[in-house]
Structure 1
Amino acid sequence: MFVERIALDEPVDALVRLKNAVDRAKRSSSVQFPIVFVRREEEEPLLSQLMRGGRGGEVRLRLYLTLRMQATRHPYVLRQKTARGLAAMLNLPADTGPRQINAALKWLESKRLIRREFEPGKIPHITLLRPDGTGEEWGARFERRYVTLPIELWANGWILKLNGRSLAVYLALRELTGGTGQNGEVMAGHRKTQYGMSNDTWTRATKELEDLGLLTMSSEVYGDDDLRMRVRKRYRLKALADIGSPSW
């Protein structure tokens, strides 16, 4: 009789909870974020702010993206989301995880990305606000262009596999390349500054994504007699639907 072996560190319970959340959300393809969430011209985008702070930033980023995945319809209110349940979904320790979730929710509220409504004896409702820090309700204005994250990020558990910097850079690369494509995309220097991430963060994260098989990079030389020769990288993201689940 064949028995499937499960790695000891595979987050089985968290993966089941994530899959159930995806099923309840009834999403079939992707989750959208406005461009301004990922990059800005003159101020730091919220994406780079979210991922900062080591483990705390990682929890904030995973939590926010996961809340957004679950909020599918206006007015984007999530009910019955306990700190303990959210901690279990994100594979956080049972003893300290709820405290980490509450700290992350407080931070998200301070940045006007969410609003919580408290009633005595009841679990607070969480309302997802616009991802631009204005505090406006989602749907007050509509964007023409979005960055999308594939639903497999949650359904296959990649949201738990990627650390905070890799997750943030993955989202930035989704914006740069328009998702996936055979040709990929190159990035000008000023474009990178709009993402608000350091060169060290970018270098480490792209190497991690490459090692995981999510990204391929190649070098190109451009320029001519009138333009100094330069080397730039071309980034190509692979479709998560084609890769399947990560190894643990």
Structure 2
Amino acid sequence: MKTYLSMLWLAAAPPHDVAYPARAWATLLDLPDPSGKGARRVNDAISWLEENNFVTVAAQAGLPNRVTLLNELGTGKRYRVPGEVFNKARTKGADLASLAGDRYVQVPPTFWTSGWMATLSAAGTAMFLVLLAEQVGKRDDQELWFSPEVANLRYSLSHDTRSAGLQELRRAGLVTAKRRPVASDVFDVQRFRNVYILHMDALTTTAAVPDKDELARPRKVALRGKSKKLKGLSAP
């Protein structure tokens, strides 16, 4: 997923192809040992993408393989910039429902340039894309929510992946979570659900994901010229 997303970013212009050595992709994704194990992981990813009709790969004597994008749905059809396809069809009066396969979201360049693509796990990256898609047509500060059934049907992500990804995004400061009551009637059983606010402006900061232990560690603060540790005070 990370390799393909990065190729979509770098090969946005026709003819939608790239020819970089595997170690370059491994370095971009901050994989350990980019010239060795990292490069092999990238080559395995490209092989998977080719087998599943997301790219074509052409060997070049003495040069890195040339990888050409195909349709993001894995249909094997040629790649076309989704925005151009969607806008062109809409101007011709096409029914919006028929354009569902051409709808798209834009991932800001800062997702790469600030290091988020390399820093976030696959689960964190997946949930960032999910929330980004859910935010389309909504205010930047609007609370987002989807049921486990909808999440599974629409995105085919397991509960463990969703949970791990959302927790990571919260620790990174990209997402704020709040609990909201579901029932509006005082006589109903009180139930709650988690809602999320995606902070796109946080992408401009240098990527970092504090671990759970770091967040739970008490801070030292200065009181009247002395350094004291306040019990129960933890980093935000």
Corresponding position: 1:198 with 2:158: yes
Equivalent position amino acid for 1:126 in 2: V
Match of 1:169 among 117, 123, 127: 127
State the shift of 1:99 in Å. Answer: 1.2
- Equivalent-residue separation in structure 1 for 2:24 and 2:53 (angstroms): 23
What's 2:141 paired with?
Answer: 182
Inter-CA distance 76–116: structure 2 relative to 1 (3 Å threshold): same
Equivalent position amino acid for 1:78 in 2: V
- Equivalent-residue separation in structure 2 for 1:140 and 1:158 (angstroms): 23
Match of 1:156 among 103, 114, 131: 114
Q: Which runs of 4+ in 1 moved over 4 A?
A: 224-229
Corresponding position: 1:84 with 2:23: yes
Equivalent pairs: percent with the same residue? 26
1:134-190 deviation per Cα after TM superposition (whole angstroms, max 9, x unaligned): 011112972452122121110111111101111111111111122871122221343
- Per the normalisation by structure 1, the TM-score is 0.68
Match runs of 1:59-98 below 5 Å: 61-79=1-19, 81-92=20-31, 93=33, 94-98=35-39
State the shift of 1:243 in Å. Answer: 4.8
- Per the normalisation by structure 2, the TM-score is 0.71
- Give the secondary structure class of the aligned counterpart of 1:118: strand
Equivalent position amino acid for 2:168 in 1: E
**Is contact 1:223–1:230 with CA below 8 Å preserved after alignment?**
yes
Inter-CA distance 74–231: structure 2 relative to 1 (3 Å threshold): same
* Contiguous gaps of at least 5 residues in structure 1: 1-60
State the Cα RMSD in Å. Answer: 2.4
- Equivalent-residue separation in structure 1 for 2:4 and 2:141 (angstroms): 30
What's 2:63 paired with?
Answer: 122
State the shift of 1:89 in Å. Answer: 2.2
- Give the secondary structure class of the aligned counterpart of 2:182: strand
1:87-118 deviation per Cα after TM superposition (whole angstroms, max 9, x unaligned): 22222213212111111110011111111112
